[in-house]
Amino acid sequence: MKNHPLRLGVLAVFLLATPAWAGDATSKIISVSADSITVGKKHAKTYKITATTAVTVNGAKAKADTLKPGMEALVTATADTATSISANDKPPKKP
């Protein structure tokens, strides 16, 4: 089957419109500063924190300076920049 120009164009638009997700990382916060957060369990990963990074702690909107080492955090990122950080400083409830 020949590659049709329209088919290739649709594929190109799809690839360009899809964000390049670096993925999510749920880990302990190792260190945090005003402009970065490092999380890890087996391997540490550092993400940039920007003015547009959405931060929540225990489900409530927070600022990056409330993040502390030892908290469990879910970091959603695009490339090396955190788009959102959801942290929890409460130990999980036992069933």
Question: Has residue 65 been placed in a domain?
Answer: yes
Residue 92: pLDDT over 70: no
Question: Has residue 73 been placed in a domain?
Answer: yes
Question: Has residue 71 been placed in a domain?
Answer: yes
Question: Has residue 9 been placed in a domain?
Answer: no
Could you list the residue range(s) of the whole structural domain that residue 32 is in?
A: 21-88
Q: Tens digit of pLDDT for each residue in 36-76?
A: 999 998 889 999 999 999 999 999 999 999 999 999 999 99
Question: Has residue 39 been placed in a domain?
Answer: yes
Query: Based on the structure, what is the number of domains in the chain?
Result: 1
Q: How many CB atoms lie within 10 A of CB 40?
A: 14
Phi-psi region of 46 (alpha: psi -120 to 50; beta: other; left: phi over 0): beta
Q: What does the alpha-carbon distance between residue 79 and residue 77 come to, in Å, rounded to a whole number?
A: 6
| pLDDT at 41 (0 to 100) | 82
Question: Has residue 62 been placed in a domain?
Answer: yes
